Amino acid sequence: MDHLKPTSANSPPLTPLTFLDRAATVYGDSTSIIYNHTTYTWSQTHKRCLQLASSLAGIGIRRNDVVSVLAFNIPAMYELQFAVPMAGAVLNNLNTRLDARTISVMLRHSESKLLFVDSHLQALAHDAVSRFPPEITPPVVVLIKDYNCLLNDDVGIVTTSYEDLVKKGNKNNSLSNDDVGFEIVTTSYENLVKKGDANFRWVRPVNEWDPITLNYTSGTTSSPKGVVHSHRAIFILALDSLIDWSVPKKPVFLWTLPMFHSNGWGFTWGMAAVGGTNICLHKFTAGDVFTAVNRHHVTHMCGAPVVLNMIANSPNAKPLHNPVHFLTGGAPPPAAVVLRTESLGFIVSHGYGMTEVAGVVVSCAWKEEWNRLPVTEKASLKARQGVRTLGLTEVNVLDTESGLGVKRDGLTQGEIVLKGACLMLGYLKDPRATAMCMREDGWLYTGDVGVIHPDGYLEIKDRLKDVIITGGENVSSVEVESVLYCNPAVNEAAVVARPDKFWGETPCVFVSLMDGKDGGGSSDEILKFCRERLPHYMVPKTVVFMAELPKTATGKIMKSTLREMAKNMPPSMGNSRM
């Protein structure tokens, strides 16, 4: 059989971009996007993405250039998930909750060429770009104007080359910080769409391992890591997630999950595959969710447990007319929240994933017979991470000492490891971190500690890396600690998760102060120090002063003890001194 090798006919690169061409044929007249009073069909979305991709290519964006996006869940954000890679570029979605300093670091690290910015995030983008040192060219900023003003949106200057944009951009991009109301764009998003060619032949990847996305994640070190995914990984993940969640044709998908979170767990592309309708929301309350669900007959939505919690506890909560499938992940959903939302008519599924695996690759795979169990038992089964999806090749829990698989008894803990086609290519410009994560033994080490139950289902027990998950966002305790350690008043600092009814967890810091500085370190000062250096969600919500942090014999801070303390704090307890 050895004479049979791949040919050009049977090995065209796998890529999710082919979903959009097909959607234009099969679902051309169906609604693709609804956002307030803006509505598109799949043939319009297809055309707009081709036009935008053509404009990007036209101004000089080349294969493997990075194009960044800082936007809420608006139509442009959805379109860019296709248009940027259709121009051959690598799509870099930025977390809108980050601070200007972090965004600036990411833009520089990725050497981003263009930055598309939601009009509501203009100031943040400006701040980030203005932090570039004069010798480094910042990305050209392209404004996505408010959708309410779109009708008057043809006044932007259309330039013909990237160099031109850089030149004009830099000129306007005055570095003086007090120039707040200035114009940082030389063209607008809608102008790029309008001037593009709808017959553009989009840039197919040369190889399916070519990069398609760059998503920054808070890692264990103080600098963020850029996770790069291939076209192949995204193709497999997107189809895999549709099957795992049994998504039918033409679902109505409500975007409560930020698209910048692993590209909406791959459902941005997945919706094109099944001709779904994307209901976009800018910012939302629980009331907005119920309104959208009823108005648009929503069938599917995703979100962190904090969104599930928001829905469950909303005064607007009313039983649904039709069931809505809710896929949650990022942290195990609390049993009480699952029960409450299911009683309203939501069908909750729970999946496990991480930026490094592009979406959900382990899921709680519900069994019919479990429906007969008592409600609390059901909820705790649903909170388990579960089994690998079809797209993942293997999952295991390895003993951290021996490296062997742990006993499947639901008790023996080890590190969760993964192997499969949805895994990242690696971290951008960080071969050391890549090799630490994806090791030579063929496993990706998640840093999560788990057990395997006798029925083969996986459950996360703890996090090796002490990541705190607050409102669906990962906060690396090490990252926060490294900032605290910059404060001259601080002697020692340790950040752990404190359980929180609303956020799931919040960062809680235990601090001992330098000799003689006891009086000088107030919790307000500590928090102010953090706020100036960290995005809002990373800033500790609780500060506890201790004379000395508990340590092991070898001098290592006993985080497990601190975690226990944080866990047992009365809800009323704020910042304190011990």
Binding site for a second copy (CB under 8 A): 1, 3-14, 18-19, 22, 24-26, 28-29, 64, 90, 209, 211, 228, 233, 236, 239-240, 242-243, 246, 248-250, 273-274, 365, 367-369, 387-388, 390-391, 393-394, 418-421, 423-426, 428-429, 431, 434, 438-444, 455-457
Whose Cβ is closer to a second copy: residue 185's or residue 458's? 458
Pair type for strands 490-500 and 504-513: antiparallel
Report the alpha-carbon distance of residue 303 to residue 284 in Å, rounded. Answer: 12
**Nearest-approach distance from CB 426 to a second copy, in angstroms:** 5
**Nearest-approach distance from CB 536 to a second copy, in angstroms:** 31
**Nearest-approach distance from CB 246 to a second copy, in angstroms:** 5
**Nearest-approach distance from CB 441 to a second copy, in angstroms:** 8
Report the alpha-carbon distance of residue 21 to residue 42 in Å, rounded. Answer: 9
Whose Cβ is closer to a second copy: residue 368's or residue 548's? 368
Whose Cβ is closer to a second copy: residue 242's or residue 311's? 242
Residue 387's H or E segment, with its range, is: strand 387-388
Report the alpha-carbon distance of residue 392 to residue 422 in Å, rounded. Answer: 7
Whose Cβ is closer to a second copy: residue 74's or residue 381's? 381
Whose Cβ is closer to a second copy: residue 208's or residue 466's? 208
Strands (E), 160-251: 211-217, 225-230
Whose Cβ is closer to a second copy: residue 53's or residue 185's? 53
Whose Cβ is closer to a second copy: residue 353's or residue 540's? 353
Q: Which of 22, 59, 58, 56 is nearest to 42 (CA)?
A: 22
**Nearest-approach distance from CB 109 to a second copy, in angstroms:** 13
Whose Cβ is closer to a second copy: residue 5's or residue 37's? 5
> DSSP string covering 115-184, please?
EEEEGGGHHHHHHHHHTS-TTSPPPEEEEE--GGGGGG---SPPPS-HHHHHHHHHHH----TT-TT---
Report the alpha-carbon distance of residue 415 to residue 424 in Å, rounded. Answer: 19
CA separation (Å) from 295 to 102, 276, 342, 360? 38, 16, 20, 28
Three-state secondary structure of 414-440: EEEEEEECCCCCEECCCHHHHHHHECC
**Nearest-approach distance from CB 296 to a second copy, in angstroms:** 17
Q: Which of 386, 392, 387 is nearest to 359 (CA)?
A: 392
Tokens of 534: 């960290």
**Nearest-approach distance from CB 425 to a second copy, in angstroms:** 4
At position 98, the amino acid (one-letter code) is L
Whose Cβ is closer to a second copy: residue 405's or residue 550's? 405
Report the alpha-carbon distance of residue 415 to residue 397 in Å, rounded. Answer: 5
**Nearest-approach distance from CB 146 to a second copy, in angstroms:** 33
Whose Cβ is closer to a second copy: residue 244's or residue 479's? 244
Whose Cβ is closer to a second copy: residue 146's or residue 455's? 455
Whose Cβ is closer to a second copy: residue 351's or residue 391's? 391
A 10 A CB-CB count for 160 gives 11
> DSSP string covering 26-78, please?
HSTTSEEEEETTEEEEHHHHHHHHHHHHHHHHHTT--TT-EEEEE--S-HHHH
Q: Could you give the maximum distance between any two Cα atoms of the chain, in Å? A: 79
Report the alpha-carbon distance of residue 396 to residue 405 in Å, rounded. Answer: 6
Q: Do 391 and 236 form a contact (C-beta atoms < 8 A)?
A: yes
Q: Do 82 and 272 form a contact (C-beta atoms < 8 A)?
A: yes
**Nearest-approach distance from CB 249 to a second copy, in angstroms:** 6
**Nearest-approach distance from CB 494 to a second copy, in angstroms:** 31
**Nearest-approach distance from CB 492 to a second copy, in angstroms:** 36
Report the alpha-carbon distance of residue 415 to residue 404 in Å, rounded. Answer: 10
**Nearest-approach distance from CB 2 to a second copy, in angstroms:** 8
Q: Residue 267 carries which DSSP code?
A: H
Report the alpha-carbon distance of residue 497 to residue 509 in Å, rounded. Answer: 9
**Nearest-approach distance from CB 261 to a second copy, in angstroms:** 20
Whose Cβ is closer to a second copy: residue 426's or residue 447's? 426
